[in-house]
Structure 1
């Protein structure tokens, strides 16, 4: 009985921890939906111009949160608000899955922090 409860508890914990993994979006759909993003963020998600964030390899949940914040106005950027405002929750999950799956070229912050 004790072993069964332990296994059940472990299983429940695993489900709770892994839920965001299953809700991470579709990478292939994200690639299609991110077509407009590449103009500023680069075809490989590694923007060359330092005024645009590098999205490749960024945390999936962070990209989702940022897009939701642009969409609802918590982040104030007219360009991003316009793009994010047209996205559904599924679009956001897919785009985040796409960019987070890409390899990043950012190995140091040197030259990427304002004032460097």
Structure 2
């Protein structure tokens, strides 16, 4: 039992320690690669129109995961599928690094939840 707990603990520490390595990407390159994103999500990642998600300050790995889901069809959005179709894994890492590095202006969910007035 102790050995199992030790192995689980070691695995958790290893996973936690490697998270920054998995979240790599070049934010400066990402800003250039994200130029087509700015029309909907804003240059600063804080979309003004509530139909578009605010990307600024989102977790890097979350953004990477979502972009991969759009690319492989797990998320069904024809506009986003088209936007990510030509992005390489490195492009996705860079774009995620850019948007995750930006400060969020979202201080409340009021008006940002579907059905809110």
Q: Could you tell me which residue of structure 1 aligns to residue 66 of structure 2?
A: 66
**Once the 2 structures are TM-superposed, how far is the Cα of residue 88 of structure 1 from its aligned partner?**
0.6
Instruction: State the partner residue of 1:35.
Output: 35
What is aligned with 1:20?
A: 19
TM-score, normalised to structure 2, is: 0.84
The superposition leaves residues 62-107 of structure 1 with CA deviations (integer Å, 9 ceiling, x where unpaired) of: 1111100100001111110001111111111111011001000001
Secondary structure, aligned partner of 1:37: helix
Structure 1 position 15, deviation (Å): 4.9
| Structure 2, unaligned runs of 5 or more | 1-8
Q: State the aligned residue count.
A: 108
Superposed, which structure 2 residues align to 1:1-116 within 5 Å? 15-24=14-23, 25-116=25-116
Q: Structure 1: which 5+ runs fail to align?
A: 1-8
After superposition, what is the alpha-carbon deviation per residue over 1:43-63, rounded to whole angstroms, capped at 9, x for unaligned? 100000000000000111111
Structure 1 stretches of 4+ moved >2 Å: 12-16
Q: CA deviation at 1:14?
A: 5.2
- TM-score calculated relative to the size of structure 1: 0.85
